[in-house]
């Protein structure tokens, strides 16, 4: 009786099994990719609903963070201004403080007194801003207001998400920005409301010293 030849049949079955396995892996990979793409879209939609003002010109906060890169490490630290008395003839004094972290988060506080000096007496007013900083290019800084607490309940307080388009300069142990009250220092006609309206001159009245 002649011997049966089964080698060809076995090879065919092996090929079919391999092809089937590859097909199943491809299908599984496709549906996994579709799942994560849909999840990314849902996450982005939730971000837009939570903070629509942060999405401008089709970009998202994540995109701008990658573009801006890391915060200037020269900014990191605690910075305080001197006691500022704009007019000795009126009872008003104020003091500013920045605490800037390496991740770009910052806290700015402004204390004010209804007297001509910043004494140990409890200040009359206190404004505390939680801020997110980003550096679009050298010498420029965007300050996004995350939240503000104002003991005077100022109705004109900046809204959460508002961006101040500013400039800055670190010189040794001093720090200057463009924004802020300038007393007799000339203003440059800018308000910092947009990139085109960015401050162009430094405010040498409010000078921060590193602590």
pLDDT: which is higher, 121 or 158:
121
Spatial distance between the Cα atoms of 41 and 60, rounded to a whole number of angstroms:
12
Spatial distance between the Cα atoms of 142 and 175, rounded to a whole number of angstroms:
15
Per-residue pLDDT tens for 182-210? 988 898 999 999 999 999 999 999 999 99
CB-based burial of residue 141 (10 Å sphere; 0-12 exposed, 13-18 middle, 19+ buried)? Answer: buried
Helices and strands (H, E) in the chain, number of each type: 2, 8
pLDDT: which is higher, 17 or 41:
17
pLDDT confidence of residue 205: 95
pLDDT: which is higher, 9 or 65:
9
Q: How confident is the model at residue 160 (pLDDT cuts 50, 70, 90)?
A: confident
CA-based end-to-end distance of the chain: 101
Q: Does an H or E element contain 14, and which?
A: helix 7-50
Q: How confident is the model at residue 161 (pLDDT cuts 50, 70, 90)?
A: confident
Q: Using the predicted structure, report yes or no on whether residue 5 has a pLDDT greater than 90.
A: no
pLDDT confidence of residue 170: 98
What average pLDDT is seen over the chain? 78
pLDDT confidence of residue 64: 29
Strands 105-113 vs 93-100: parallel, antiparallel or unpaired:
antiparallel
Task: Check if the beta carbon of residue 181 is closer than 8 Å to that of residue 206.
Answer: yes
Q: What is the pTM of this model?
A: 0.64
pLDDT confidence of residue 36: 42
Spatial distance between the Cα atoms of 96 and 172, rounded to a whole number of angstroms:
19
Which range scores top for mean pLDDT: 3-12, 109-118, 166-175? 166-175
- What torsion do the CA atoms of 49, 50, 52, 54 make, to the nearest 10 degrees? -140
pLDDT confidence of residue 4: 45
Selection from 147, 151, 96 nearest residue 118 by Cα? 96
Spatial distance between the Cα atoms of 211 and 175, rounded to a whole number of angstroms:
11
């Amino acid at each position: 009786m002649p011997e049966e030849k089964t080698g060809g049949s076995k090879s065919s079955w092996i090929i079919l099994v391999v092809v089937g396995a590859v097909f199943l892996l491809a299908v599984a990979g496709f549906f996994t990719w579709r799942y994560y793409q849909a999840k990314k879209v849902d996450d982005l939609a939730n971000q837009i609903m939570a903070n629509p003002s942060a999405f401008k010109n089709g970009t998202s906060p994540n995109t701008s963070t990658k573009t801006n890169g890391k915060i200037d490490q020269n900014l990191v630290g605690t910075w305080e201004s001197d006691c500022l008395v704009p007019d000795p003839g009126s009872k008003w004094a104020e003091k500013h403080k920045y605490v800037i972290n390496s991740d770009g988060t910052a806290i700015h506080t402004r204390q004010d007194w209804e007297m001509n000096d910043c004494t140990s007496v409890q200040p009359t007013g206190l404004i505390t801003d939680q801020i997110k900083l980003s550096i679009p290019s050298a010498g420029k800084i965007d300050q996004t207001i995350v939240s503000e607490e104002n003991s005077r309940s100022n109705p004109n307080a900046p809204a959460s998400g508002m961006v101040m388009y500013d400039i800055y300069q670190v010189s040794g142990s001093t720090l200057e920005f463009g924004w802020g009250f300038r007393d007799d220092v000339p203003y440059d006609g800018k308000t910092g409301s947009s990139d085109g309206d960015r401050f162009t001159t430094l405010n040498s009245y409010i000078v921060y010293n590193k602590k």
